[in-house]
Amino acid sequence: MNYFSSQFKLGILGGGQLGKMLLNDTRKFDIHTCVLDPSNEAPCKIACNEFVQGDLMDFDTVYQFGKNVDVLTIEIENVNVNALEKLEKEGIKVYPTSKTLRTIQNKAKQKLFYVDNNLPTAPFSRFAYKDEILTAIEHQTLEFPFVWKSAQFGYDGKGVKVVKSHSDLEELPNVECITETLIPFKNELSVIVARNADGKVKIYPVVEMEFHPEANQVEYVICPARISKEVALKAELIALKASAAFKHVGLLAVEMFQTEDDDILINEVAPRPHNSGHHTIEASYTSQFEQHIRAVLNLPLGKTDSKVGGIMVNLVGAEDYTGNVVYKNIESIMAMDGVTPHIYGKKQTRPFRKMGHVTIVHENINEARRIAEEVKKKIKVISE
């Protein structure tokens, strides 16, 4: 198949920042792209060949969009899976497949998949609605504290809450959910695995994620993770085992906990480019975005080694600002060596909205972390 400067069309469901960064690489290769997104202001709009505005959860919209492309991929999991299944039956290549997405879209199904495939994960219970949790607490089959997760549509800290008391429960929506044992852990780690349709696999180095205490969002992604070789190897093997179990095509980001005893437990996975791989644009031989395109088109996979240590800082909307975005002090961070900002193109900021990221590269990861802290203090995402 000739993908380059040809009639071939790659479809992307979702037009956010992950799609925009994928498009940097499709443009590099001159691959024709079509993007579907509900927002007319989607970051992808300026960079794709064809833009369609429409609902990603609507069967007909996704089906009609998919009929016009040769290969269909995603940059967000919340899409109409029934439409994808029908497109697959009609010969359109969809990666990740509808089967993979169906499992991953629902956190209860995702957790059961780990159990069925002997993949380590925190103990959990599933509930159809909130009242069942109250009954479990009354019967002492569930104890505070625990982690509550909405089964569907959770992301970026939304749909996740640590429940310590009855009053925390009152705020939760009445939806299908899971509860997990609260695991004391040393580190949150992530490993991105790339796999093409031929089953060839490449793995990126383990990264460490530092989270914002209030927003439950990643603040820093650090590569390489500051962990022992033994723990890194354990994390890599579990990520590879998860990849083999899903038989996904494209990227699979496997988020994990390193417990106090150095066990590794899978938290959750994402079958697409991921926040924990943004540093790869500057720090790796092959960025996660180029790798995703190589994988879904069944091209040879690129080298995943890091050229240099990298740290990614998320740029999120400051707490008290809503409106037209202003990036305060951006010039002063650009004056720092090894610092590259990425602005996603969202014109409106609001508290904790992901607006961009900054990558810091340095031979010494501890020095990079120090610079990252300075970057974080200087740049502010505010409104006019």
Query: Contact at 8 Å (CB) between 298 and 198?
Result: yes
Residue given tokens 């492309």 in the structure block? 69
| CA distances for 222 relative to 16, 162, 215, 377, angstroms | 23, 25, 19, 17
Question: What DSSP designation does 168 have?
Answer: H
Residue 310 half-sphere exposure, CB side, CA atoms within 13 Å? Answer: 24
CA distance 186 to 257: 8
Q: Determine whether 137 is exposed, middle or buried from the number of CB atoms within 10 Å of its CB (0-12, 13-18, 19+).
A: middle
Q: Which alpha helices (H) appear in 187-249, and where do they start and end?
A: 229-246
Residue 102 half-sphere exposure, CB side, CA atoms within 13 Å? Answer: 9
CA distance 179 to 202: 33
Q: Is 268 annotated as a binding residue?
A: yes
Record the tokens describing residue 285, joined without a space: 């031989």
Q: Is 188 annotated as a binding residue?
A: yes
Nearest to 315 by CA among 224, 226, 215, 191: 215
CA distance 241 to 248: 12
Q: Is 182 annotated as a binding residue?
A: yes
Q: Is 267 annotated as a binding residue?
A: yes
Which parts of 250-320 are beta strand (E)? 250-259, 264-270, 309-316
CA distance 300 to 291: 9
Nearest to 294 by CA among 49, 10, 89, 5: 10
In the annotated binding site, the residues are 107, 149, 180-183, 188, 267-268
In the annotated binding site for ATP, the residues are 107, 149, 180-183, 188, 267-268
